Structure 1
Amino acid sequence: MLFPLTIDLHGLAPDTSHPLHDAEVTTRGLCPRCGREHTLPAGVARAECAALMQQLEQYGRIDMQVPDHIADPHFSLDYLNGVARGQMFGVLVVRTQDGAYGTLRAFSAQYNRVWHVDGWVPPLLDVAAFDAQVAKDDPVINGLGREIRALDDAIVEERQASENQPCTPQSAQTLTDGEATPTPLDLLMQQRASLVDERRQLSQRSMRAIHELYRVRNFRGEIASLFDIFPAGRGVPTGTGDCCAPKLLQYAMQHNMTPLGLAEFYWGRESRSGARQHGEFYPSCQDKCYPILGYMLCGLEEETITG
């Protein structure tokens, strides 16, 4: 999982003393614990990203640790150039406990529906628990969706039938105790609204259960859930914790490595909005990563000084 540095250190550490060190802050966040913004510069990580880009072009796949004859077609870069479009990749330069230097690599979220790929850091969540939660809730949510679509068809048919029905005293809506008797269309609409509300509540419960599977560490040795980190009432954005930076930092902490620089780049067909372009570097995102990275980086300053 830990790769050797590709750049020549010339006897220097891969920190501010190295000529390839980039002081630009690429990873930042506001810590809800201490109220301060914590940052991490690119360091020499962009130079290491360039080496990773060359390898991606050379191999044409991300499972670069296995021979060509057993490479999995699911990990081909064709995935990033097709309908799925591109994806973010990241490199973290670290110092190990024994003073050695190396790099960690990550891809955002899943790659072609796969969480674990040799040579890349794992996700923050427990994948088995995630799969069990999805297997429990998704069939029910999808079943409710099918019922709602069936009702949509029935509502269209009932509306058409009502429009074609002549208005006669016999077909006119009657009154009971001064209130209108629900028409068949009214009943269908009420049933649909009830199912939509049931599906919404189940989806929210399922998403909360999934977010509870994420346990985030910081450099003070503390652990928090996503709900501890994000402001109350704001909600946790979908995909939080699945970006490259949180995955890289979590793995580094779990293995007692000190981060020295982090960089993330986009690889593949440009994003639908055009905001992400192939081969370009981008800082950590604001909506999902800013709160979580602030918490994760808390304490790194002291560790860097004492290390």
Structure 2
Amino acid sequence: MGDNSGSKVSYFLEESIKQITLPERFTFPFYYEPHPLTRIAAAELQHYLETQTDLEHNFGLDANQDGTAIGKMFGVLVVRCTEGKLGYLSAFSGKLAGSNDHPEFVPPVFDMLAENSFFLKEVEIINSINIQVNELASDESYQRLSQDIEKLFDESRQEIIAFRKQLKDNKDSRKKLRERLKSSLDQQEYIIAEAQLVKQSLYDKHQLKTLTDKWERLLEEMRARLAQFEANIEALKNDRKERSAALQQQLFDQYVFLNKDGKSKSLHEIFSVTPFGKPPSAAGECAIPKLLQFAFVNGYEPIAMGEFWWGAAPKSEIRKHKHFYPACTGKCKPILEHMLEGMPVDENPLLNAPKKDSRLEIIYEDESLVVVNKPSGLRSVPGVNVRDSVYASLKDILGDTEPLIVHRLDMDTSGLMVVAKTKEAHKHIQRQFLKRTVSKRYTALLSKVIDQSEGEIDLPLSADLFNRPRQLVCFTSGKKSVTKWKVVKRYESMTRVDFWPLTGRTHQLRMHSAHELGLNAPIVGDDLYGTASERMYLHAAHIEFIHPEKKEKVRFEAEVGF
């Protein structure tokens, strides 16, 4: 990997690429098979990463290296330079070794870490505010005052409770005395005695009010002193919040992205028309926007792109070392829609209609329901731009009967789906799914040999909001997700397993297979969490539930086709 002209371009050796045909269109960033030129560029960049010694960054590949292990997404952009030669640019997402400035990689769209930048100056002020907030919050007088108030409040509560008990005892004694006096005194004498008892009652109430007022005054004085501390802390926090918001807005305005026609848009302009309303954190720092920006600024023609992961995976995501991944949808899609405007781009492969021989097989039908064997590659329900689906097929087959989808399978998962034909049947079967009384068994082919023979995986899952439809493992806000599994057969480099999902989360089996805390073996052909193939080898083979009309258990099997 080298830079011939100081332009950040690494040129291909003509001999190594003379047999490679250039793509007619630029890569569709969100679902792609890397072009051969992209693979060559990525291999050269990976060789550099394996042999370099100047990046003080712990990717998590060396157990003896100091520092927190942080894997990184790297990108390559194949370009045609102004003199017609083919080369490629390299970039990383975010920062590398705490810096944006590395000679082998293109610079960021805006370098917030540049010396004396407004960002660093403002961050220094915000950090000083943080120090002041922490100093005030840990001030000995403030801490002692907080503790004294808490202690005083406990003392006041205990004394008032004890005094109230005494008053209740006094009241009970007066009640008993009244009963005795009624029987031993005449009416005039009783009236005089009752007046004395009333005075005692009023005196007790006065004493209680005096006691509560005394404690309230003491507490109020101390709370007023505490309030001054808290007001100072709150003022600093408000100042910090306002400065952070202003700094963020200033950053949004500095990140300005070009397209091939030289039209520019800031982050704020790009995201103002999205559901987010404003840019998410770190938007514009991903590799592909950096690469396209550098190409457009320097007059290079983008030919093809690719991004791969390098290093240890984050704890929450599925990321495999050296694997290619699409651009993220939440942060990159709005930016790339602007940057790629007017460029011929590959069509989204997901919008292609399924193969003609992928017919929907009905394996059971009665007045209440239909059970189908869904082929891999067919959606359960129509997409925004794709009608082909189990729903659409059944709609055509059933005519006037509306198919009511009870549950779904991922597009690339084959196997059994139950579809209701009446509202009553839909409600009855859906209730069984909600109560988790439906028994399902899946069969999958995993991408490596599994040593254990069986087990249970419990990894909570949540949606990756900035990279749908991917899921994350999240132990704080994720939904409980449990899968039982058992090895069926081991092959030389793969394992066939049966899965019993005890919960029904999105991508549950795919995540539990691929994640390092699960089986750490992606399902063969899983293009989201592993490596794409002709299909994903996951099949819903068995389902068992109570028939809504017959009220008896029914079972269905669909032979595994792999």
**Distance verdict in 2 for CA 1:139–1:183, change over 3 Å:** same
Q: Which residue of 1 aligns with 2:149?
A: 162
Q: Does 1:89 align with 2:74?
A: yes
Q: Please state how far the C-alpha of 1:92 moved relative to its aligned partner.
A: 0.7
CA contact (8 A) 2:93 2:285 kept: yes
CA contact (8 A) 1:43 1:260 kept: no
Q: Which residue of 2 aligns with 1:42?
A: 34
Q: Which residue of 2 aligns with 1:123?
A: 108
SS in structure 2 at match of 1:117: coil
In structure 1, runs of 5+ residues without a counterpart are: 18-22, 29-38, 62-71, 303-307
Q: Which residue of 2 aligns with 1:15?
A: 23
CA contact (8 A) 1:106 1:248 kept: yes
Q: Please state how far the C-alpha of 1:16 moved relative to its aligned partner.
A: 5.5
Listed as ranges, the matches of 1:1-307 within 5 Å are 1-5=8-12, 8-15=16-23, 25=28, 27-28=29-30, 42-44=34-36, 45-57=38-50, 59-61=51-53, 72=54, 75-76=55-56, 78=58, 81=61, 82-126=67-111, 131-154=116-139, 155-165=142-152, 166-167=155-156, 169-173=213-217, 183-231=224-272, 234-301=277-344
**Distance verdict in 2 for CA 1:221–1:211, change over 3 Å:** same
**Letter of the aligned partner of 1:43 in structure 2?**
H
Aligned residues: 270
CA contact (8 A) 2:59 2:72 kept: no
CA contact (8 A) 2:258 2:293 kept: yes
Q: Please state how far the C-alpha of 1:241 moved relative to its aligned partner.
A: 1.3
**Letter of the aligned partner of 2:331 in structure 1?**
K
Q: Please state how far the C-alpha of 1:99 moved relative to its aligned partner.
A: 2.8
For residues 80 and 331 of structure 2, the distance between their equivalents in structure 1, rounded to whole angstroms, comes to 27
**Letter of the aligned partner of 1:223 in structure 2?**
S
Higher RCO by CA contacts (8 Å cutoff, separation 6 or greater): 1
**Distance verdict in 2 for CA 1:173–1:241, change over 3 Å:** same
Please list the CA deviations of residues 60-83 of structure 1 after superposition, one character each: whole Å capped at 9, or x if unmatched. Answer: 44xxxxxxxxxx4xx145455540
Q: Please state how far the C-alpha of 1:289 moved relative to its aligned partner.
A: 0.8
In structure 2, runs of 5+ residues without a counterpart are: 1-7, 62-66, 157-210, 346-562
Q: Please state how far the C-alpha of 1:128 moved relative to its aligned partner.
A: 7.1
SS in structure 1 at match of 2:78: strand
For residues 15 and 40 of structure 1, the distance between their equivalents in structure 2, rounded to whole angstroms, comes to 13
More deviation in 229-238 or 213-222?
229-238
Superposition RMSD in Å: 3.1
**Distance verdict in 2 for CA 1:77–1:182, change over 3 Å:** closer
**Letter of the aligned partner of 1:284 in structure 2?**
A
Q: Please state how far the C-alpha of 1:224 moved relative to its aligned partner.
A: 1.5
For residues 134 and 222 of structure 2, the distance between their equivalents in structure 1, rounded to whole angstroms, comes to 25
For residues 100 and 218 of structure 1, the distance between their equivalents in structure 2, rounded to whole angstroms, comes to 21
For residues 310 and 236 of structure 2, the distance between their equivalents in structure 1, rounded to whole angstroms, comes to 41
For residues 174 and 56 of structure 1, the distance between their equivalents in structure 2, rounded to whole angstroms, comes to 67
SS in structure 1 at match of 2:282: coil
What is the percentage of aligned positions where both structures have the same residue? 28
Larger Rg: 2
**Letter of the aligned partner of 2:258 in structure 1?**
R
